């Protein structure tokens, strides 16, 4: 069963560029992972401090594997100083 997540980040006003740069480092390595169906990051035009990551994985095993990669560990260790808020939603194709 595919897993689709939408993760929203709200950057601190003085850290928008840093948040954007950090999130961008996740795209290509994630797309190259086994089981990644898609991985895209969006920045809202009307609110540049808000970023939305939409990612799809073949299954729970692929998502769990993603969380053990070096690029994921680097992001997890470094995003908090730039981030005012973060939340996640599980999506379902209808």
Q: What is the pLDDT of residues 17-72, one digit of tens each?
A: 999 999 999 999 999 999 999 999 999 999 999 999 999 999 999 999 999 999 99
CATH no. for 3-91 = 3.30.70.100
Instruction: Give pLDDT, residue 18.
Output: 98
* All structural domains of the chain with their residue ranges: 3-91
The DSSP bridge pattern shows strands 36-43 and 3-11 to be unpaired
Let me know: does 77 contact 22? Beta carbons within 8 Å: no
The torsion defined by the Cα of 52, 73, 75 and 83, in degrees rounded to 10, comes to 80
Read off the tokens for 67: 């969380």
Q: What values do phi and psi take at 24, rounded to 5? A: -60, -30
| pTM of the predicted structure, to 2 decimals | 0.93
């Amino acid at each position: 069963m595919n897993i689709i997540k939408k993760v929203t980040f709200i950057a601190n006003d003085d850290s928008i560029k840093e948040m954007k740069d950090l999130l961008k480092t996740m795209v290509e390595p994630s797309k190259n992972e086994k089981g990644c169906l898609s991985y895209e990051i969006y920045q809202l035009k009307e609110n540049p401090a808000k970023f939305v990551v939409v990612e799809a994985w073949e299954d729970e095993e692929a998502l769990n594997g993603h969380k053990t990669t070096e690029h994921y560990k680097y992001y997890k260790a470094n995003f908090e100083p730039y981030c005012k808020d973060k939340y996640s939603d599980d999506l379902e194709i209808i």
